[in-house]
Amino acid sequence: MSEHFLLLSCCAPCSCAVISKLAADGANFSVVFYNPNIRPLAEYERRRDENARVCKEYGVPFIELEYDNERWCDLTQGLEDLPERDCRCSICFHMRLKRVMEYAKANGISAVASVLGVSRYKNLAQVNEAAAKASSETGVSYLEIEGRKGGMQELRTSLIKELQLYNQDYCGCKPRQ
Ligand code: SF4
């Protein structure tokens, strides 16, 4: 069996196609939900529960880390009014990826992947840059996983429908403008 890795997931809609494909390919992975950027708490819990439901559907372990929204707010203080894709998002990506890499390292896991760049609203290069930084700081590898091309968007759309997933209309920290 291939080496175990962690998949950082932000929500069910962004991760369903990737989880489904990895599970079908027999990949050895667990999903980690570390998203202290999501507000309010009720929204966080709703997305967490939907993500856990998708994992259960495919028999994939689901790990929830702490909801430290206070720390997220401290790190992004003063950047609240910037648009999505600006530097607040770089800080947010880096915080989440680094925490999951630290968790991986503490548990003897050498690689982390994510679905943070799957949404068409995201700048994939910005996610990969934050991941490279976190990787060099922790010594944990970052695996780039295809979530957009090769039929993945179509699979995502069909799974959202088939599993009747809750599909939110904003990223996490504030409603889209
Ligand atoms: S828009 Fe999304 S990625 Fe950007 S800072 Fe807010 S929660 Fe994080």
- Per residue in 17-64, pLDDT (tens digit) is 999 999 999 999 999 999 999 999 999 999 999 999 999 999 999 999
Please give the model's pTM, rounded to 2 decimal places: 0.97
Mean pLDDT of 149-174: 96
Ligand 1 neighbourhood includes 171 CB (under 6 angstroms): yes
Ligand 1 neighbourhood includes 92 CB (under 6 angstroms): yes
Ligand 1 neighbourhood includes 51 CB (under 6 angstroms): no
CB under 8 A, 24+ apart: contacts of 65-70: 65/32, 65/33, 65/34, 65/99, 65/100, 65/103, 66/34, 66/36, 67/35, 67/36, 67/41, 68/36, 69/36, 69/37, 69/39, 69/41, 69/44
- Domains of the chain, by residue range, sit at 5-162
Q: What letter represents residue 124's amino acid?
A: L
For ligand 1, atom 6, name the residue with the nearest CA. 173
Q: What is the CATH T-level fold of the domain 5-162, as seen in this structure?
A: Rossmann fold (3.40.50)
Report CA(2)–ligand 1 centroid distance (Å).
Answer: 32
Average pLDDT, the chain: 96
